[in-house]
Structures are given as structure tokens and as C-alpha cells.
Amino acid sequence: MVALVRVCLLAVSTWLVTVPWVAAADPARPNILIVTVDDMSADSLGVYGCELSETSPSIDAFAKTALRFEHAHVLVGNCMPGRNIMWSGLYSHVNGVEGFRQNKSPDYPVLCDLAKQAGYFAGIRGKVPHSTPYTPYAWDAVLDTDANGKKHHNKDAASYGKSTADGIRMAEQANKPFCLMVNISDPHKPFYSGPRDANQPSHTFAAEEVPVPGFLFDDPLVREELALYYSSVRRADDCFREIMSALDESGKADTTLVMFLSDHGMPLPFAKTQLYYHSTHTPLMVRWPGVTRPNSKDSTHMVSAIDFLPTLLEVMQQDHPTPEILHGRSFAPLLRGETQSDRDFVILQYNENAGRNRHPMRGIQTREHLYLFNPWSNGKRKFATATTGTVTYRQMIKRAKQESDIAARLHMFDHRVLEELYDLKNDPDCLVNLIDSPAAQQTVQSLRNRLTSSLKQMNDPVAMVLQSHDDVSIREAFMAKEDQLTNASKGKRKSQSPRQ
């Protein structure tokens, strides 16, 4: 498998140098507008069952015109590795972006390259260094500034409409269809900060009215933080409204495929920087005029972020130069109302956080169960994640001193256990670990074997550890190497992935 990957990467590297520019695009192919929100749980939207009304009127209205997927998942609950998986079609250990560091020497094409090769004008607003292996990259336009070169504020809703209009106008001037990626900053922190915030949402929420996710705990301070989060969700909805207005005003809406998603779950404990259900469940919606059925829903197929690139390539009628290297496969047939076999699970992959602390985790999720493998967990190592800086986490520490149930949740957050199994139909908040349940052992073995096989196929280094999951010496030898990578990267602050 290693040899195959190296041959494929060499072929792609050669392609980047030798393939000629395609000057004109087929007018029958749609424009493409990808809109993402940052750090938003799927169930924060009304159309995905949010208990709080008025969080997302514009996105909910779009849903009535689109196909929405009930079982769509990103691969990991953190941004840079997650987005690079989306737009490279490669798992992190192959694309070299395992955490928040750039891969300065990518020898594979990403969406930006392939869209341009297909004759599209490629533009991006926001999350530029997180969406491609390094920045600046080969975009035709980075839409982060206005006509005078002044940088847009990433929480200003109106500016997203201006960026979208600018991108469409530039594509028209180039006489090309457009492939625009507009990345909304909200509800990523910093959240909406109150009445003095320069960027006011069209609606705000009070602490007493917000729902508390089942994976957290009810507390006045937690509710206050959630109120700011949900107000930021509404501001993200305002941004989406401006983007769609710009598309409508351009006259291009009827010839544009719009793809909407969140990069992962809310930036609070047990969601962001995790592999739990609410970490990876994304509100994927696609509107392809004349192809997708308005206000329709796919409740059958499981699709993954690893499938996004091959799907868009099929829409653009663009062949990948080395299709065997892609880890995902197109779900464009589903957009056309067809069915696909073998869409009953997704693979999850986490390596490191923004601080370059490596805590590798792998998972497999079906519609019914989630199995997680945490080789770093030995009862001593402590998980590092950005969500430890939240009010919610600090309040969890405070209350854990007096409340045993919260103390148990805190210990699970900090130290985890080697394996986890959850019944998602009855426990989507992943509160009850069934890994030792006698009734669940057949499910455990089946999912463990299936995950091991999948990791072997993609040459994931965790495969050998999972295969010998009971062997402490193998796990600790593996983690010793991971710790060396952590120490080396923190000491030298290299730009490349430690595995490059």
C-alpha cells in the first residue's frame, strides 16, 4: 500500500507540472458555491431539530429548496485537518495536514487546482490557510478584502454578500463558471459579545431560553455561554442570507450548485476536537437546480467529508488525474435521486490539536453505533483541546469537586478510556459507554474488525495498534513515537506535518 501511495503521489506531482490549462468550460456544467459555517453543531439549525426557534431562518428557508442529508459526517472535530481532508479527498496521514500546520510541499492536487483545471474560476473567502495545504495557494482570487484592499471583518454579515458578488463578477470577467468557497466565521469563537458588539445578529438569545445539549450539564454559566453561541449561530445565518442574496442578484442561482455544511460541532467540551456524534454530524445540504428535489431528505445513505471532492469533480465533469489515490467516492448519484450500496458506515480520524499535542483516535460510525479507539489513553495522559479554555469546562472543574456525576464526566473528558461504544439511536449524546456490556460484545468485535480493515486499506499507522489493541506494550511504543513528534514539533515549530 505504501508503494501504491508513493506511485500515486508521484503521478499527481507530475500532473501538476505537465497538464495544460483548460481554457473554456462546458456551459452545461453548473457554477459551484460552497458555503461553510465554522464550529456549528447540526442540531443548532431548525431544520435539523433545534429546540430553540429562530436560530436559522435563512438556512431553514434554503433547506426547503435543497436535498439535505441526515447521515452526513465530517471526519474530525477540528478545522484545519478536517477541511484539508474535505478538499484533498485524502486522509490526514496521507495529505500531511494532521493538525494545525501547513504542508509546504503537497504532491497532490486539491479542489482549487482541479476546479481550475476544469476551466472554473476558483475563489475563496475566509479560512484560506485551513482549506488548502498552505497559504497563499493557487486561488484565482482571495475575497477577504474590499475593492480598496481593506480586510473584511470576519463577523460582518454584509461583507459576505460583497465577497460573493465580487467572486461572481470576477468569474464573469474571466468568462468562466465559478467555483467559490465562502467560509463563514461564526459561530466560531469569539462569540457574539453583547450589545456593544460591532456586528449585531438580527436576533439574540437569553440564557434562560437556550437548550442545554445532553452531553453538557445545566448551569447558569453554561447557559450564558450557550446563549452567546446561539446568538452567533443566528449571525452565521445572517451571513448566509447575504451570500444567497448576492447569488440571487447575480442572476446565476438557476445555474449554480450550492453546497452547505458545517466543518464540525460547537466549540464546547465533548463536541469540538472530538469524534463523538455531535462532533462530526454535519448539516449537509445541496441544491443543484434541475437535479436535486426541493425540500427532500436522504435518511438512508451515510456520506463522509472524504467524499466531497470526488462528488464535486463528477459535477464539474472533471476526472481526477490519479483517481486511485482518493479515499472517498462520489455521491453525485444520490443528488440525482439514485441509490448507492455500501454506504452504511463512515471512518473517523483524529491526530492532534492546535497546540500540536498528539492524541490519536480512530472511529467507525454506523447509523446505529459509534465505536472509538483511543490508543493514547492510559489513565495518566491528559487530553489537550481548545475547549478547555471555555467557561463551560472551567465550571465543570468547579462543580466536579462536589458532584460525582460531573466528576465522572470530567475524568472521561480528560483521560478517556481505550475503547468506547455508543448506541446512537438511544444515546446520541454518547453518555453511556457500552464497551464492557456482555450484550454488546458481538457489535464491538464487528466494528473493531471493520475499522481495522479500513485502516489497513489506507495504510493508517494506527491499524497495527488496533489489531493488537489489548497489548499495552505495543500501544505505549506507538505513543512514545507520537510523543517524540509532539516534542519535536513544539521545539522546532516546523511548518510541515511531522510525518512528512
Structure confidence by residue, pLDDT tens digits, 288-337: 999 999 999 999 999 999 999 999 999 999 888 877 889 999 999 999 99
- Looking at residue 28, what is its pLDDT? 65
Q: What nine digits make up the cell of 361? A: 483516535
Which residue is listed with cell 464540525? 264
Q: What nine digits make up the cell of 65? A: 429548496
Q: What nine digits make up the cell of 498? A: 511531522
Question: Do residues 325 and 12 make contact, with C-beta atoms less than 8 angstroms apart?
Answer: yes
Query: How many CB atoms are closer than 10 A to CB 41?
Result: 26
First to last CA, the chain: 17
- Looking at residue 382, what is its pLDDT? 94
Helix spans in 401-467 (H): 404-415, 441-457, 462-467
How many Cα atoms sit within 13 Å of 476 on the Cβ side? 7
Domain with residues 30-343, CATH architecture: 3-Layer(aba) Sandwich (3.40)
Q: What nine digits make up the cell of 486? A: 509532539
- Looking at residue 489, what is its pLDDT? 66
Share of the chain above pLDDT 70, in %: 92
Question: Do residues 47 and 262 make contact, with C-beta atoms less than 8 angstroms apart?
Answer: no
- Looking at residue 122, what is its pLDDT? 98
- Looking at residue 491, what is its pLDDT? 60
Where residue 303 falls (left for φ over 0; alpha for ψ -120 to 50; beta otherwise) is beta
> Where are any strands of DSSP class E within 340-407?
346-352, 358-365, 369-373
Q: Say if residue 136 is preceded by a cis peptide, omega within 30 of 0.
A: yes
Share of the chain above pLDDT 90, in %: 84
Residues 6 or more apart whose CB falls under 8 angstroms from that of 337 comprise 292, 293
Name the packing angle between helices 404-415 and 391-400 (round to 10°): 130
Question: Do residues 98 and 76 make contact, with C-beta atoms less than 8 angstroms apart?
Answer: no
Question: Do residues 23 and 201 make contact, with C-beta atoms less than 8 angstroms apart?
Answer: no
* Cα Rg of the chain, angstroms: 22
- Looking at residue 490, what is its pLDDT? 63
Q: What nine digits make up the cell of 205? A: 438569545
Query: How many CB atoms are closer than 10 A to CB 475?
Result: 20
Handedness of CA 431, 435, 441, 447 (dihedral sign): positive
Question: Do residues 31 and 178 make contact, with C-beta atoms less than 8 angstroms apart?
Answer: yes
Q: In whole angstroms, what is the distance from residue 431 CA to residue 424 CA?
A: 10
Question: Do residues 280 and 76 make contact, with C-beta atoms less than 8 angstroms apart?
Answer: yes
> Where are any strands of DSSP class E within 58-145?
67-69, 72-73, 121-125, 141-142
Q: In whole angstroms, what is the distance from residue 33 CA to residue 323 CA?
A: 23
Number of H helices, E strands in the chain: 16, 14
- Looking at residue 4, what is its pLDDT? 38
- Looking at residue 338, what is its pLDDT? 97
What residue ranges of the chain are covered by domains with CATH 3.40.720.10? 30-343
In the predicted model, residues of the chain with pLDDT beneath 70 are: 1-28, 489-500
Helix spans in 341-403 (H): 391-400
What residue ranges of the chain are covered by domains with CATH 3.30.1120.10? 347-492
Report the CATH number of the 347-492 domain. 3.30.1120.10
Residue 268's SS3 state is coil
- Looking at residue 2, what is its pLDDT? 35
Q: In whole angstroms, what is the distance from residue 328 CA to residue 111 CA?
A: 14
